[in-house]
Structure 1
Amino acid sequence: MVRIHLGCQLTYDFPQNTAMIVMLNVHYSRVAQLERPDHLITNPPVPIESYRDGFGNWCCRLVAPAGRFVLGTDSVIRDDGLPDPVALDAVQHAVQDLPPDTLLFLLPSRYCETDTLSAEAWRLFGKAPTGWGRVQAICDFVHGHIKFGYEHSRPTRTAAEAYAEGRGVCRDYAHLAVAFCRAMNIPARYCTGYISDIGQPPPYAEMDFAAWMEVYLGGRWHVFDPRNNQPRIGRILIATGRDAADVPLTHTFGANNLAGFRVWTAPVGE
């Protein structure tokens, strides 16, 4: 068991009062491991209305005042300290045998143009073994095909564009892998959250939120991470959706300037 200190702080400058939807709280599936609630805290304080979206993610709705506005979370979570589980025998289900609530994650979405990439997916992975092996083949390909770099970040890049350009950030890796999986009739959903550096050799990059995917095999959802392409310790989920359009950390209904951004996740005591 490991105790992980996690949280974030985002600093904005707003020219006028601006409505926001914020998705920064730990996913309900991990809330029981929190040692204290990771309430959204703002400065200056404002009224916050919370609700669950259609995917079950916890969302906070507020109106940020004009001027400097700071928001964030902070908590400690208990983690089993184990790497992401690997289930090499997890089988791929026939579409007609899939549970109804997984079918949405077979369809094209804003950033995952499954229809556009279908023929290419079958060309690349049609001969790969079904189930876990096929998803791993997709992750291996995406991991090697995309060159990572924050200088390559573009919030409007789609999976097809990431494939054509061969560069991006973790959300682009996830979008492309999700699109390829769906094209191969494997339900896949986009995930956002924290990934710690526990078990990784230094030096460590500056901490940021991360994106990965979950795929439905063998009767349950499994984590795959095409960006890192290896099991990691201390992966803490915030939200899941069809793609990044469903799970933005903040959705701001007006002009703004992000003046500061900090994320932390580390074993307690470090």
Structure 2
Amino acid sequence: MFIRFGYDITVACAQPTHFVSRMALRPERRGDLVQDEVIELSEGIQAHPFLDGFGNHCLRFTAPVGETRIKATGLVRDSGKPDDVAPGAGETPFEQLPDDVLPFLLPSRYCESDSLMNIAWEMFGHLPRGWARVQAVCDHVHGRIKFDYQKASATRTAQGALSDGYGVCRDYAHTAIALCRALSIPARYVNGYLGDIGVPYAGAMDFSAWFEVWLDGRWYAFDARHNVPRIGRVNIAVGRDAADVAMLHSFGRHDLPIFTVVCEEEEADSVA
């Protein structure tokens, strides 16, 4: 199958404002591109591309006073299969973890795994190590937090989400990540596209957040919000939590008069 993805975003600034965007596909998905990902900024704005410490493709640019448009479009080939499910996948012993996986065991800005350690072990420490334990974490978070887009908060942490009992996709991810790390299971935050493919239409698109866990020598996708395997995830950025992978990080105030995201299946006969 083919997935059309992209965005059309306008930022309005009262003064020249610096930005770093992380809205390009992750390196591991770029080999699936059928049509190149094309990113455009308003005429005259120069952007500098770079890779951050997590291997995410970034752009840094300065938006002038007024409105600046940043848009992108692309087409990827996808298997059309739901997320991999591997009930037999086990936890990797600490001494066998790759060096670049170790940071995903540590507490971070939104994932206070140190504060949640006692709770995590009391609730999940008796369960079989590996996939079953991670799924139990997802089940708990899915049942504990109610999705409420109107109550999104840029400062809510995992502990805050558990206390509030509501949140958005990033809160589900942060909470599950914190609990997994508290159990010494490496977990990382993922931003990306997730369209309503294979499920009922849920309304206007936005970027989505989920998480990945290191089991048996590889990363597996988990999603505590939906808590069912989904079709067509397209990874954009990974990090310890949302602080590492802000889609559009501004160093100054701005407004968002336009914010449109696209992620939908495209018919094969329309692909040139």
Fold match by TM threshold 0.5: yes
Deviations 1:191-220 (A, max 9, x none): 00001211113x422111110001000111
TM-score by length of 2: 0.96
Which amino acid in the other structure matches residue 43 of structure 1? S
Q: Is residue 251 of structure 1 aligned with residue 252 of structure 2? A: no
Q: Residues 1-270 of structure 1 correspond to what in structure 2 (within 5 A)?
A: 2-201=1-200, 203-269=201-267
Deviations 1:221-253 (A, max 9, x none): 111011111111110000100000000001111
Cα distance in structure 1, aligned partners of 2:36 and 2:55: 18
Which amino acid in the other structure matches residue 36 of structure 2? P
Cα distance in structure 2, aligned partners of 1:30 and 1:183: 30
**Secondary structure of the corresponding residue to residue 115 of structure 2:** helix
**Secondary structure of the corresponding residue to residue 93 of structure 1:** coil
Cα distance in structure 2, aligned partners of 1:251 and 1:101: 24
**Secondary structure of the corresponding residue to residue 35 of structure 2:** coil
Pairwise CA distance, 1:259 = 1.1
Pairwise CA distance, 1:177 = 0.3
Cα distance in structure 1, aligned partners of 2:39 and 2:64: 16
Deviations 1:102-144 (A, max 9, x none): 1110000010001111111111111121100000000000011
Which amino acid in the other structure matches residue 223 of structure 1? A
Pairwise CA distance, 1:36 = 2.5
**Contact 1:5–1:266 (CA under 8 A) maintained in structure 2:** yes
Which amino acid in the other structure matches residue 251 of structure 1? H
Pairwise CA distance, 1:260 = 1.4
Which amino acid in the other structure matches residue 161 of structure 1? G
Which amino acid in the other structure matches residue 214 of structure 1? E
Unaligned runs of 5+ in 2: none
Cα distance in structure 1, aligned partners of 2:195 and 2:80: 11
CA-based RMSD: 1.2
**Secondary structure of the corresponding residue to residue 209 of structure 2:** strand
Cα distance in structure 2, aligned partners of 1:260 and 1:249: 15
**Secondary structure of the corresponding residue to residue 107 of structure 2:** coil
Pairwise CA distance, 1:97 = 2.6
Pairwise CA distance, 1:165 = 0.9
Q: Runs ≥4 in structure 1, deviation > 6 angstroms?
A: none
Cα distance in structure 2, aligned partners of 1:172 and 1:106: 18
Which amino acid in the other structure matches residue 159 of structure 1? A
- Size of the alignment, in residue pairs? 268
Unaligned runs of 5+ in 1: none
Which amino acid in the other structure matches residue 136 of structure 1? Q
Cα distance in structure 2, aligned partners of 1:167 and 1:44: 41
Which amino acid in the other structure matches residue 191 of structure 2? T
**Secondary structure of the corresponding residue to residue 103 of structure 1:** helix
Cα distance in structure 2, aligned partners of 1:63 and 1:97: 43
Cα distance in structure 1, aligned partners of 2:43 and 2:258: 16
